[in-house]
Protein backbone atom coordinates (compact mmCIF):
# COMPACT_ATOMS: atom_id res chain seq x y z
CA UNK A 1 0.00 0.00 0.00
CA UNK A 2 1.16 3.55 -0.68
CA UNK A 3 1.91 6.01 2.10
CA UNK A 4 -1.21 7.94 1.13
CA UNK A 5 -3.51 4.93 1.45
CA UNK A 6 -1.97 3.82 4.76
CA UNK A 7 -2.47 7.36 6.04
CA UNK A 8 -6.09 7.40 4.89
CA UNK A 9 -6.68 4.05 6.59
CA UNK A 10 -5.21 5.14 9.94
CA UNK A 11 -7.09 8.44 9.84
CA UNK A 12 -10.32 6.62 9.08
CA UNK A 13 -9.81 4.30 12.05
CA UNK A 14 -9.06 7.23 14.35
CA UNK A 15 -12.23 8.99 13.22
CA UNK A 16 -14.30 5.86 13.72
CA UNK A 17 -12.90 5.24 17.23
CA UNK A 18 -13.51 8.88 18.10
CA UNK A 19 -17.12 8.81 16.97
CA UNK A 20 -17.74 5.55 18.83
CA UNK A 21 -16.54 7.31 21.98
CA UNK A 22 -18.65 10.41 21.33
CA UNK A 23 -15.59 12.50 20.52
CA UNK A 24 -14.87 14.77 17.58
CA UNK A 25 -12.28 13.22 15.22
CA UNK A 26 -10.65 16.63 14.88
CA UNK A 27 -9.72 16.55 18.57
CA UNK A 28 -7.17 13.80 17.94
CA UNK A 29 -3.76 14.60 16.46
CA UNK A 30 -2.01 11.86 14.54
CA UNK A 31 1.74 12.00 15.16
CA UNK A 32 3.40 10.07 12.33
CA UNK A 33 6.47 8.40 13.85
CA UNK A 34 9.07 8.47 11.09
CA UNK A 35 12.09 7.06 12.96
CA UNK A 36 14.29 4.81 10.78
CA UNK A 37 12.43 5.98 7.67
CA UNK A 38 14.13 8.25 5.16
CA UNK A 39 13.12 11.75 4.13
CA UNK A 40 11.58 10.32 0.95
CA UNK A 41 9.05 8.32 2.97
CA UNK A 42 8.30 11.36 5.13
CA UNK A 43 7.82 13.46 1.99
CA UNK A 44 5.29 10.94 0.70
CA UNK A 45 3.13 11.50 3.78
CA UNK A 46 3.62 15.26 3.62
CA UNK A 47 2.36 15.15 0.04
CA UNK A 48 -0.67 13.24 1.31
CA UNK A 49 -1.40 16.03 3.79
CA UNK A 50 0.27 14.86 7.01
CA UNK A 51 1.98 17.66 8.96
CA UNK A 52 2.77 16.30 12.43
CA UNK A 53 5.74 13.94 12.81
CA UNK A 54 7.54 12.24 15.69
CA UNK A 55 11.18 11.20 16.00
CA UNK A 56 12.82 9.48 18.97
CA UNK A 57 16.42 10.60 18.44
CA UNK A 58 17.73 14.11 18.09
CA UNK A 59 20.56 13.21 15.75
CA UNK A 60 18.39 11.23 13.35
CA UNK A 61 15.87 14.07 13.24
CA UNK A 62 18.68 16.54 12.52
CA UNK A 63 19.64 14.50 9.47
CA UNK A 64 16.13 14.56 7.99
CA UNK A 65 14.00 17.42 9.17
CA UNK A 66 15.82 20.74 8.62
CA UNK A 67 15.43 20.39 4.84
CA UNK A 68 11.84 19.17 5.13
CA UNK A 69 10.95 22.02 7.48
CA UNK A 70 12.53 24.54 5.13
CA UNK A 71 10.25 23.29 2.36
CA UNK A 72 7.20 22.97 4.62
CA UNK A 73 7.26 25.60 7.37
CA UNK A 74 3.98 24.27 8.80
CA UNK A 75 5.48 20.92 9.84
CA UNK A 76 5.25 20.18 13.57
CA UNK A 77 7.98 17.91 14.94
CA UNK A 78 7.61 16.05 18.24
CA UNK A 79 10.47 14.48 20.20
CA UNK A 80 9.07 11.23 21.58
CA UNK A 81 12.27 9.53 22.79
CA UNK A 82 14.62 9.96 25.76
CA UNK A 83 16.56 13.23 25.78
CA UNK A 84 19.99 13.75 27.31
CA UNK A 85 20.59 17.14 28.86
CA UNK A 86 23.58 17.76 26.60
CA UNK A 87 21.23 17.48 23.60
CA UNK A 88 18.64 19.87 25.02
CA UNK A 89 19.90 22.83 22.99
CA UNK A 90 19.76 20.90 19.71
CA UNK A 91 16.32 19.56 20.59
CA UNK A 92 14.96 23.03 21.35
CA UNK A 93 16.34 24.34 18.06
CA UNK A 94 14.73 21.67 15.90
CA UNK A 95 11.64 20.27 17.61
CA UNK A 96 8.31 22.01 18.24
CA UNK A 97 7.04 19.75 21.02
CA UNK A 98 8.96 17.67 23.60
CA UNK A 99 6.93 14.65 24.74
CA UNK A 100 9.59 13.05 26.95
CA UNK A 101 10.23 15.42 29.86
CA UNK A 102 10.84 13.04 32.76
CA UNK A 103 13.31 14.42 35.29
CA UNK A 104 14.28 17.57 37.10
CA UNK A 105 17.67 18.04 35.46
CA UNK A 106 16.15 17.77 31.98
CA UNK A 107 13.34 20.20 32.84
CA UNK A 108 15.96 22.69 34.04
CA UNK A 109 18.08 22.31 30.88
CA UNK A 110 15.07 22.65 28.61
CA UNK A 111 13.89 25.77 30.43
CA UNK A 112 17.33 27.35 30.12
CA UNK A 113 17.70 26.52 26.41
CA UNK A 114 14.16 27.70 25.58
CA UNK A 115 14.87 30.97 27.33
CA UNK A 116 18.13 31.42 25.39
CA UNK A 117 16.54 30.51 22.07
CA UNK A 118 13.43 32.60 22.70
CA UNK A 119 11.28 29.55 21.87
CA UNK A 120 8.64 28.16 24.21
CA UNK A 121 8.01 24.58 23.20
CA UNK A 122 4.96 22.69 24.39
CA UNK A 123 5.99 19.87 26.73
CA UNK A 124 4.47 16.57 27.76
CA UNK A 125 5.59 14.80 30.92
CA UNK A 126 6.38 11.14 30.27
CA UNK A 127 4.91 8.84 32.90
CA UNK A 128 6.24 5.33 33.57
CA UNK A 129 2.75 3.95 34.21
CA UNK A 130 4.03 0.37 34.38
CA UNK A 131 6.75 1.34 36.88
CA UNK A 132 9.29 -0.56 34.77
CA UNK A 133 12.86 -0.10 36.06
CA UNK A 134 14.42 0.09 32.59
CA UNK A 135 11.88 2.54 31.20
CA UNK A 136 12.01 6.33 31.13
CA UNK A 137 9.28 8.38 32.74
CA UNK A 138 8.21 9.77 36.08
CA UNK A 139 6.67 7.27 38.49
CA UNK A 140 2.93 7.82 39.02
CA UNK A 141 3.47 8.60 42.71
CA UNK A 142 5.89 11.43 41.84
CA UNK A 143 3.88 12.90 39.00
CA UNK A 144 1.83 15.65 40.63
CA UNK A 145 4.87 17.15 42.35
CA UNK A 146 6.92 16.96 39.14
CA UNK A 147 4.20 18.68 37.10
CA UNK A 148 4.11 21.45 39.70
CA UNK A 149 7.91 21.84 39.59
CA UNK A 150 7.94 22.03 35.78
CA UNK A 151 5.23 24.66 35.81
CA UNK A 152 6.15 26.75 38.84
CA UNK A 153 9.94 26.46 39.10
CA UNK A 154 10.92 26.10 35.45
CA UNK A 155 7.93 27.83 33.83
CA UNK A 156 7.69 25.13 31.20
CA UNK A 157 4.59 25.10 29.03
CA UNK A 158 3.30 21.73 30.23
CA UNK A 159 0.37 20.71 28.03
CA UNK A 160 -0.07 17.04 28.82
CA UNK A 161 1.15 13.57 29.69
CA UNK A 162 2.65 10.78 27.61
CA UNK A 163 3.11 7.05 28.28
CA UNK A 164 4.43 3.87 26.68
CA UNK A 165 2.71 0.92 28.41
CA UNK A 166 4.61 -2.32 29.14
CA UNK A 167 4.58 -4.57 26.07
CA UNK A 168 3.09 -7.53 27.89
CA UNK A 169 0.22 -5.80 29.64
CA UNK A 170 -3.27 -4.70 28.65
CA UNK A 171 -2.68 -1.14 27.41
CA UNK A 172 -6.21 0.05 28.27
CA UNK A 173 -5.43 0.04 32.01
CA UNK A 174 -2.41 2.28 31.42
CA UNK A 175 -4.32 4.58 29.08
CA UNK A 176 -7.13 5.01 31.61
CA UNK A 177 -4.60 5.74 34.36
CA UNK A 178 -2.77 8.33 32.23
CA UNK A 179 -6.02 10.09 31.30
CA UNK A 180 -7.02 10.22 34.96
CA UNK A 181 -3.65 11.67 36.00
CA UNK A 182 -3.86 14.31 33.26
CA UNK A 183 -7.35 15.37 34.36
CA UNK A 184 -6.24 15.52 38.00
CA UNK A 185 -3.44 17.92 37.04
CA UNK A 186 -5.60 20.05 34.76
CA UNK A 187 -3.65 18.98 31.68
CA UNK A 188 -5.71 18.96 28.46
CA UNK A 189 -3.50 16.71 26.30
CA UNK A 190 -2.79 13.00 26.52
CA UNK A 191 -0.31 11.25 24.20
CA UNK A 192 -0.89 7.50 24.13
CA UNK A 193 -1.45 4.68 21.67
CA UNK A 194 0.84 3.29 18.98
CA UNK A 195 0.21 1.17 15.87
CA UNK A 196 -1.15 -1.81 17.82
CA UNK A 197 -3.49 0.06 20.14
CA UNK A 198 -4.21 3.59 18.97
CA UNK A 199 -7.95 2.95 18.56
CA UNK A 200 -8.16 1.84 22.20
CA UNK A 201 -6.22 4.94 23.19
CA UNK A 202 -8.66 7.18 21.30
CA UNK A 203 -11.60 5.55 23.07
CA UNK A 204 -9.89 6.27 26.39
CA UNK A 205 -9.22 9.93 25.70
CA UNK A 206 -5.96 10.24 23.73
CA UNK A 207 -5.51 13.65 22.11
CA UNK A 208 -2.29 12.49 20.41
CA UNK A 209 -1.60 9.02 19.03
CA UNK A 210 1.94 8.12 17.93
CA UNK A 211 1.78 5.78 14.96
CA UNK A 212 4.85 4.45 13.16
CA UNK A 213 4.74 1.02 11.56
CA UNK A 214 1.05 1.22 10.57
CA UNK A 215 1.98 4.23 8.40
CA UNK A 216 5.49 3.37 7.24
CA UNK A 217 5.59 -0.43 7.34
CA UNK A 218 7.52 -2.62 9.79
CA UNK A 219 10.89 -1.36 11.02
CA UNK A 220 14.00 -3.54 11.10
CA UNK A 221 13.99 -5.40 14.49
CA UNK A 222 17.03 -3.44 15.74
CA UNK A 223 14.95 -0.29 15.91
CA UNK A 224 11.72 -1.82 17.20
Ligand X SMILES: *Cc1c(COP(=O)(O)O)cnc(C)c1O
- Looking at the Cβ atoms of 183 and 218, the one nearer to ligand X is 218
Give the shortest CB-212-to-ligand X separation in angstroms: 3
- Looking at the Cβ atoms of 109 and 191, the one nearer to ligand X is 191
Residue facing ligand X at closest CB distance: 212
> What distance in Å separates the CA atoms of residue 177 and residue 69, rounded to the nearest whole number?
35
Give the shortest CB-54-to-ligand X separation in angstroms: 7
How far the first Cα of the chain sits from its last, in Å, is 21
What φ, ψ does residue 131 adopt, rounded to 5°? 50, 45
Give the shortest CB-192-to-ligand X separation in angstroms: 9
Strand partners, 161: 125, 190
Give the shortest CB-210-to-ligand X separation in angstroms: 4
- Looking at the Cβ atoms of 63 and 115, the one nearer to ligand X is 63
- Looking at the Cβ atoms of 62 and 195, the one nearer to ligand X is 195
3-state secondary structure of 169: coil
Applying CB under 6 A, the residues found at the interface with ligand X are 33, 35, 56, 80-81, 164, 194-196, 210-214
Q: 68 to each of 93, 101, 133, 164, how far by Cα in Å?
A: 15, 25, 36, 27
In this structure, what DSSP letter does residue 204 have?
T
What are the start-end ranges of the H helices in 21-122? 39-47, 58-71, 88-94, 104-117
Amino acid sequence: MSGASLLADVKGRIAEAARAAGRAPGDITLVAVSKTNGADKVQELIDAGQRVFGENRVQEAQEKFPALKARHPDLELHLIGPLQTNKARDAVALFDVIQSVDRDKLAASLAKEMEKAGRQLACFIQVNTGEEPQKAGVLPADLDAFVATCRDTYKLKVVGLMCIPPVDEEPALHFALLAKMAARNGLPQVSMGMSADYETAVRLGATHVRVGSALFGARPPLHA
